[in-house]
């Protein structure tokens, strides 16, 4: 870093390096940016010649590598090429984008949908198109970073409420300045905790305070609800949200983000959501893969039943062995270790025993609640789930993390 200008920024760069080194001080402790090679059709990965059971993936339905999904991506690339060379509003639209949006609308049980380049872009673009200065957004304390960033960029007043605490939300709404649009935003399933937003009560509070309700279904689609259709189906369709958003990068093994709602809302987003209007369209292969995976989700709801059963079984096994799993009630199960270092110790020991559980540390989770974020998928078997629980308990015992 020769120049004086770089000298000014050097402390920031060095701090990042020190932070990484404080947790990953030797190759065995490396847990970030590890290039695993996934085995097809199993939940195992290869790393440095070892076969390891992956328990921290996001492909909940086990469709990453599914031959129908891969074939659809190949066919889309062969038909439409590898890129769209522009934004949808100008030169970048292909029929596949419209087919995908129609399928998303069906799965989301809404009139229309719009697809963005990522879930992050969908949150930032949607929030910015709905609220601005003079409006107020009320956001759960554990909401995803893309929601928080969208709120900040929008220029609206941002009010945080305690995680899943609807009484606190109600008090915050009573105390907020009147006037303007009021928008409440929550994750349907919290990505690091695996718990579910209390939708019926949120709806009541929103109605009482004339607020719109928006949910992020990133970890709900394909995961909760009897057939995997998300948080509304989980609550037996007793209540509806106003703005439904999700990603195509978790249970749906592709790239992209979506919003579903009335034709009027989607029409507005097509012209007002800046990451849609000023960023290139989804690549054909990604659109083709997502479309096929959504069709598989609808055709094979037994995948959803399977991961719901695995989630329950895994939680029972590790809790019985003395591990803390927070309020998880889905396929996402945190194994709470405590300090950042403890989470790394646990991950490193578990990997030595043949199982991967990736650590999530501050600032992604609150201090002293660092954890391994475990997710069961439809690629796992009953035997995988039992083997993983046994290995994590053994590792936790070795690390001195078990109660009693």
Ligand X SMILES: Cc1ncc(COP(=O)(O)O)c(C=O)c1O
Catalytic site positions: 191, 219, 250
Answer for which of 84, 146, 154, 328 binds ligand X (CB under 6 A) is 146
- Residue 216 touches ligand X, criterion: CB under 6 A: yes
* Ranges within 225-264 binding ligand X (CB under 6 A): 247, 249, 257
Among residues 84, 154, 166, 191, which is the contact residue for ligand X, using CB under 6 A? Answer: 191
Q: Which residue has the tokens 């195992």?
A: 44
Tokens of 55: 């328990």
- Enumerate residues 6+ apart whose C-beta is below 8 A from 189: 195, 196, 197, 217, 218, 219, 220, 223, 224, 231, 330, 332
Q: Are 350 and 342 in contact (CB under 8 A)?
A: no
- Interface with ligand X includes 144 (CB under 6 A)? yes
Tell me how many residues contact ligand X (CB under 6 A).
14
Torsion over CA: 101, 225, 216, 239 (sign): positive
In whole angstroms, the minimum distance from the beta carbon of 273 to ligand X comes to 14
Contact region for ligand X (CB under 6 A) — 117-125, 155-163, 204-212, 281-289?
117-125
Q: Using the rule CB under 6 A, is 195 a contact of ligand X?
A: no
**Residue selected from 120, 138, 161, 235 as contacting ligand X according to rule CB under 6 A:** 120
- Contacts by 39-43 with C-beta closer than 8 Å and gap 24+? 40/65, 41/65, 41/379, 42/379, 43/377, 43/379, 43/380, 43/381, 43/384
Choice from 31, 118, 330, 349 touching ligand X (CB under 6 A): 118
Q: Of the listed pieces 17-25, 97-105, 212-220, 333-341, which binds ligand X according to CB under 6 A?
A: 212-220
CB of 256 to ligand X, least distance (A): 7
- Residue 195 CB, nearest approach to ligand X (Å): 13
- Alpha-carbon distance values, 93 to 45, 164, 289 (Å): 36, 39, 17
Looking at the Cβ atoms of 375 and 395, the one nearer to ligand X is 375
Distances (CA, A) of 379 to 10, 54, 96, 245, 339: 44, 10, 28, 26, 31
Find the helix or strand (DSSP H, E) in which 131 lies.
none
Question: Helices (DSSP H) in 241-381: which residue ranges?
Answer: 263-272, 274-277, 284-299, 302-320, 340-352
Among 94, 104, 218, 251, binds ligand X (CB under 6 A): 218
CB of 164 to ligand X, least distance (A): 14
List residues near ligand X by CB under 6 A. 118-120, 123, 144, 146, 187, 191, 216, 218-219, 247, 249, 257
């Amino acid at each position: 870093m020769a120049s004086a200008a770089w000298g000014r920024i050097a402390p920031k760069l060095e701090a990042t390096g020190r932070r990484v080194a404080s947790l990953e001080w030797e190759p065995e402790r490396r847990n970030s940016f590890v290039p695993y090679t996934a085995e097809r059709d199993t939940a195992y990965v290869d790393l440095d010649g070892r076969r390891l059971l992956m328990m921290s993936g996001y492909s909940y339905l086990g469709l990453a590598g599914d031959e129908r999904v891969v074939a659809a991506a190949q066919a889309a690339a062969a038909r439409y090429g590898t890129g769209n060379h522009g934004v949808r509003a100008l030169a970048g639209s292909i029929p596949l984008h419209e087919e995908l949006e129609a399928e998303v609308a069906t799965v989301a049980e809404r009139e229309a949908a719009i697809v963005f380049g990522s879930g992050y872009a969908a949150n930032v673009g949607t929030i910015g198109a709905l609220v601005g200065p003079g409006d107020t957004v009320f956001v759960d304390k554990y909401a995803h970073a893309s929601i928080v960033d969208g709120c900040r960029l929008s220029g609206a007043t941002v009010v945080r409420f305690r995680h899943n605490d609807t009484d606190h939300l109600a008090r915050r709404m009573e105390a907020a300045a009147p006037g303007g649009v009021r928008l409440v935003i929550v994750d349907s399933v919290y990505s690091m905790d695996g718990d579910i937003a209390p939708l019926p009560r949120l709806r009541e509070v929103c109605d009482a305070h004339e607020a719109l309700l928006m949910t992020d279904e990133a970890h709900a689609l394909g995961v909760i609800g009897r057939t995997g259709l998300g948080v509304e189906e989980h609550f037996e369709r007793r209540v509806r949200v106003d703005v439904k958003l999700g990603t195509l990068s978790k249970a749906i093994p592709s790239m992209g983000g979506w919003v579903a709602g009335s034709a009027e809302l989607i029409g507005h987003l097509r012209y007002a959501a800046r990451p849609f209007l000023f960023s290139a369209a989804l690549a054909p292969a990604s659109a083709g893969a997502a479309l096929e995976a959504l069709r598989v989700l609808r055709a094979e709801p037994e995948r959803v039943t399977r991961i719901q059963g695995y989630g329950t079984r895994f939680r029972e096994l590790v809790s019985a062995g003395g591990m803390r799993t927070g309020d998880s009630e889905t396929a996402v199960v945190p194994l709470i270790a405590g300090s950042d270092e403890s989470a790394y110790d646990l991950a490193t020991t578990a990997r030595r025993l043949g199982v991967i559980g990736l650590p999530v540390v501050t600032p992604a989770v609150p201090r002293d609640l660092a954890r391994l974020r475990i997710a069961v998928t439809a690629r796992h078997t009953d035997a995988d789930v039992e083997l993983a629980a046994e290995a994590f308990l053994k590792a936790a015992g070795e690390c001195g993390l078990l109660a009693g």
